[in-house]
Structure 1
Amino acid sequence: MIAGDSGERARAIHWQRLPVKGSLVTEPGVYCLRSNETGWDEKTMWRTYIMLTDLEAVFRSLKSELGLRPIFHHKEERAEGHLFITVLAYQFVQLIRHCLAAHGICERWSTLRDTLAGQCRVTATFNRGDGRTLHVRKATRAEPDQARIYQALGADPAPGGVQKTIV
């Protein structure tokens, strides 16, 4: 601090930040996690961080898939319902991932979704000679990566079978 002519007021203030050891400034490229859990060792802290990161990614995905965006929590029962559905869906995702991990498939939820997204159900429509219309609906053939996931889950690689409807 530089005092003014009278000595009663400051004419200028200069300061400099001192880097804190173990911070991003002194150790760039290193994760610096902060927590109020002072009894945790670094492995527990890292596992928890990775789990929370994964949880956030799955929730973000599920909220979109379940049509829960945007969510307006103007009423308590809406917030509770939103939380219940999201936690229930997350438990379902974890069950699927656990089953897949037992078969050596250890992908992120977003990767699994992207892999399975390529398979779809298609409807072919045919006009019949009697004036009616035949609709045939079936799933496309599963690619090898998709079939591996279905097999690990014990699921049919051609869900829904073939449905024929005459209208």
Structure 2
Amino acid sequence: MNTDLKLRPIHHQKDDSSDAHLFFGLLAYWVVNTIRYRLKQSGMMHYWAEIVRIMSTQKAITTEATNALGEIVYLRQCSEPTKTVADIYERLKYKKTPFRKIRIDKICSTQ
């Protein structure tokens, strides 16, 4: 796990914290290996660090604004994927954008 996830031993004072740390470490390891396995099945033999580097070119952007009623409105959208990112999504059978434009707000809560 140390090579792909860069996990290191962390000593917690409470058992629940240690259990949670171990659980999330194993869950992350399982997700990484599942993604790499599916990519290898489709012919892509990249290391995890290379996959992360490629996928980091797509960004999620959150914009904050105030509407006429003085309420804060958040708009979250995803950038267009590059050809390489789109290829990885296609090989994994995922959508090319993780989510469409999302508005996180109360548009007119007082009307």
TM-score (norm 1): 0.52
Q: Aligned with 2:43: secondary structure?
A: coil
Mapping 1:15-164, distance limit 5 Å: 55-60=1-6, 63=7, 71-124=10-63, 131=68, 135-164=74-103
Closer/same/farther in 2, CA of residues 77 and 122 from structure 1, 3 Å limit? closer
Distance 1:136 1:90 in 2: 32
CA apart distance, 1:109: 1.1
Bigger Cα Rg:
1
Distance 2:12 2:82 in 1: 41
| Matched length | 104
Distance 2:101 2:78 in 1: 8
Closer/same/farther in 2, CA of residues 93 and 126 from structure 1, 3 Å limit? same
- Structure 1 unmatched ranges of 5 or more: 1-54, 64-68
AA of the residue aligned to 1:96: I
Q: Aligned with 1:123: secondary structure?
A: strand
Distance 1:90 1:100 in 2: 15
CA apart distance, 1:142: 0.1
Distance 1:74 1:124 in 2: 39
TM-score (norm 2): 0.74
CA apart distance, 1:126: 6.3
Distance 1:123 1:83 in 2: 32
- Structure 2 unmatched ranges of 5 or more: none
AA of the residue aligned to 1:56: N
CA apart distance, 1:90: 0.4
CA apart distance, 1:138: 1.3
Superposition RMSD in Å? 2.6
Relative contact order, CA 8 A, sep 6+: which one is greater?
2
Distance 1:78 1:126 in 2: 38
